[in-house]
């Protein structure tokens, strides 16, 4: 499932992009109306999430132009304007749904699913490094295609490493993110990296002496 997100507010765009990616969507971002319209025109998207207040061309105009050009890709408008007429305008210009900021992420997802129901299934995003693959959706980890059983802690460590590939991750960083706000003993991390190496092979996680660990790269 490919989504086009047209949103100029960088922080919101980033957050949505990450959240939706985790749900298995391929998300492209356009930062203004004109680029968004061009991207949507090229097609290939299963749905478009469209902010209303955009530089260069408003979301209303984008969806209107698309519909004028007979492009019926499902469009969900996102807007801080919650006056009844704003909603009505968006929907009458051809949007399929209209969500008011601030919105709950759960609602966005549910409405998105409802909108996409005519289409197929979401393709999962899989984190990879070498021949190790981790699928956050199914929580499955494979080594060269073979499933590997990991304990929750092991899984959490591996996931964090895979989400920050190709760079050194310090032990304290791992302690902070994988353990609760208390653990201070770096040896804990060493122990769990040891477990992972035993299950996934000696070289999947490399030690950077004096700095931390690195996966991939």
Partner DNA sequence: GGTCGTGCTGTGAAACGCCTGAGAACCTGT
Partner DNA sequence: ACAGGTTCTCAGGCGTTTCACAGCACGACC
Tell me which residues touch its own copies (CB under 8 A): 84-85, 87-92, 95-98, 104-107, 109-111, 113-114, 117-118, 121, 123, 137-140, 151-152, 166-168, 208-211, 214, 217
- Considering only the stretches 50-58, 83-91, 102-110, 177-185, report the one whose residues sit in contact with DNA under the rule CB under 7 A: 177-185
Compute the least distance from the CB of residue 4 to DNA, in Å.
28
Which one of its own copies, DNA, none interacts with residue 172, CB within 5 to 8 A by kind?
none
- The two structure tokens encoding residue 153: 């802690």
Token pair 């890709």: residue: 73
Residue 77 CB, nearest distance to DNA (Å)?
Answer: 25
- For residues 149 and 111, give the distance between their C-alpha atoms in angstroms, rounded to a whole number: 35
Partner whose binding site includes residue 67, from DNA, its own copies, none (CB under 5 to 8 Å by kind) = none
Q: Rule CB under 7 A: is residue 57 a binding residue for DNA?
A: no
Residue identified by tokens 């353990």 is 179
Query: In this structure, is the dihedral angle defined by the CA atoms of residues 102, 18, 75 and 114, taken in order, positive or negative?
Result: negative
Any contact of residue 207 with DNA (CB under 7 A)? yes
What's the order of all strands across the beta sheet hosting 140-143?
A: 127-129, 132-135, 140-143, 146-148
Contact flags string 142-171 toward DNA, x per CB under 7 A: -------x-xxxx----------------x
Residue 201 sits in the site that holds DNA (CB under 7 A):
no
Query: Among 51-59, 81-89, 119-127, 191-199, which window interacts with DNA (CB under 7 A)?
Result: 191-199
Residue 152 Cβ, how far from DNA at the closest point, in Å? 4
**Binding site partner of 109, from DNA, its own copies, none, Cβ cut-off 5-8 A by kind:** its own copies
Question: Can you tell me the distance from the alpha carbon of 159 to that of 180, in angstroms, rounded to the nearest whole number?
Answer: 16
Contact 22, 14 (CB under 8 A): no
Q: How far apart are CA 55 and CA 198, in angstroms?
A: 53
Helix axes 84-92, 59-68, angle to 10 degrees: 20
């Amino acid at each position: 499932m490919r989504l086009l997100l047209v949103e100029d507010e960088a922080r919101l765009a980033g957050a949505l992009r990450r959240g939706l990616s985790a749900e298995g969507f391929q998300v492209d971002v356009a930062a203004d109306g004109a680029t968004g319209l061009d991207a949507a025109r090229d097609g290939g998207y299963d749905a478009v999430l469209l902010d209303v207040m955009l530089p260069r061309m408003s979301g209303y105009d984008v969806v209107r132009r698309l519909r004028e050009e007979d492009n019926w890709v499902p469009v969900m408008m996102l807007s801080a304007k919650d006056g009844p007429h704003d909603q009505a305008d968006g929907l009458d210009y051809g949007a399929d749904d209209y969500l008011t900021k601030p919105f709950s992420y759960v609602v966005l997802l549910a409405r998105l699913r409802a909108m996409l129901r005519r289409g197929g299934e979401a393709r999962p995003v899989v984190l990879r490094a070498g021949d190790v693959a981790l699928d956050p959706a199914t929580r499955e980890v494979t080594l060269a295609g073979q499933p590997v059983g990991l304990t929750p802690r092991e899984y959490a460590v591996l996931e964090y490493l895979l989400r920050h590939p190709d760079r050194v991750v310090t032990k304290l960083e791992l302690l902070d993110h994988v353990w609760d706000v208390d653990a201070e003993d770096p040896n804990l991390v060493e122990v769990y990296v040891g477990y992972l190496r035993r299950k996934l092979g000696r070289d999947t996680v490399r030690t950077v002496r004096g700095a931390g660990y690195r996966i991939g790269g």
